[in-house]
Structure 1
Amino acid sequence: MICAPYPEDEAWRLATLARYDLLSEAHDPFLDALTVTVARSFRAPISAVSFIDRERQFFKAITGLDVRETARSCSFCAHVLWWPEPMVVLDAREDERFAGNPLVLDAPHIRFYAGAPVHLRGVCLGSLCVIDHRPRTGFDDNQVRMLKGAASAVEERLIQMTAAAHAPESRRH
């Protein structure tokens, strides 16, 4: 297993997560519904919006698993911080970065992973991902576009959430 290195903008990323309180346990109905739609669209059991904190991967929204976080060291999504495009792993058992990963060897037995970066104000905070227990033989350009489009919807929602949370008091009433 190869842990993802910390990006150069790590301090700025962490400050952005904290500034906008994106690591709160509060559920967002839009993001919850989006993960359900993404899982169904890709015929996969799991989809999540994850944010990468200093030591953990936090799931702001997740479908198909009953967890709210995992260690950053075993996070597939932490690798997405380095990718400008979606990262696709067709069979995690055959990828040196993930073959020894506890999430591959044990539950949830990840085989397939596709994650698109999620940005806010120019900073990559995490990903929108789709996960399967079975490997896949491919992930075509149309599927990449669909995943990027869904990640863009997450980014638009984050802009709405953070704008509402930081609006001047006079504009809230």
Structure 2
Amino acid sequence: MAEYPVLYNEEERLQAVEQCGLLDTPDEPRFDRLTRLAAYLTNAPIALISLVATERQWFKSRHGFATRETARDIAFCNFALTESTLFIVEDATQDDRFRNNPLVTGKMGIRFYAGKAITGLAGHRLGTLCVIDTVARGLDPVQRRLFEDLALCASDIIRGAELERQKTI
């Protein structure tokens, strides 16, 4: 498995993840609606809103996935974080970056992944909105556009949550 990429401002990004006030918080309907919509519009069994911290990716919202977090070193979201556009892996078994990843070779059996970075108030990429499937495939142009719109909505919700938190501090 290849080492994951990091952003040039990784230390600042990690501070922003810690300071956003969302890590390890309870489920919230405003985030869960987005993952349900993402799964439905892409016809994917799994949709997640992740926050990528120092050594883990933690899921603020999960649709079709029971696990609350995974180790960062196996996270597909590391790659989506570094992209300004939608990051898609149509068949993880055919991609050198992922073919030996335990999320691909193990019980989960990831084949398809699409993720888009989501940002906080300061513009740092905190995590992703992503969808996952166990079959290799892609997204059509309409699905791509709508998925990117949902990622923007996730960023808007995170920014709103950050503003709410600032008012109470």
With structure 2 as the length reference, what TM-score do the two structures score? Answer: 0.94
Alignment of 1:1-173 (within 5 A): 1-120=1-120, 121-136=122-137, 138-167=138-167
Bigger relative contact order (CA 8 A; separation at least 6): 2
Query: What is the count of residue pairs matched by the alignment?
Result: 168
CA distance in 1, matches of 2:65, 2:18: 25
8 Å contact 2:20–2:162 — kept in the other structure?
yes
Question: Once superposed, what is the RMSD of the aligned Cα atoms?
Answer: 1.3
8 Å contact 2:42–2:139 — kept in the other structure?
no
Structure 2 gaps of 5+ residues are none
Query: 1:113 is matched by which residue type in structure 2?
Result: Y
CA distance in 1, matches of 2:15, 2:22: 11
Report the CA distance between 1:168 and its aligned residue.
5.8
With structure 1 as the length reference, what TM-score do the two structures score? Answer: 0.92
CA distance in 2, matches of 1:107, 1:40: 23
CA distance in 2, matches of 1:163, 1:60: 17
CA distance in 1, matches of 2:28, 2:119: 17
Structure 1 gaps of 5+ residues are none
Query: 2:153 is matched by which residue type in structure 1?
Result: A
Post-superposition Cα deviations, 1:30-56, rounded to whole Å, max 9, x if no partner, equal: 111211121111111000000110000
Q: Percent identical across equivalent pairs?
A: 36
Query: 1:56 is matched by which residue type in structure 2?
Result: R
CA distance in 2, matches of 1:65, 1:168: 32
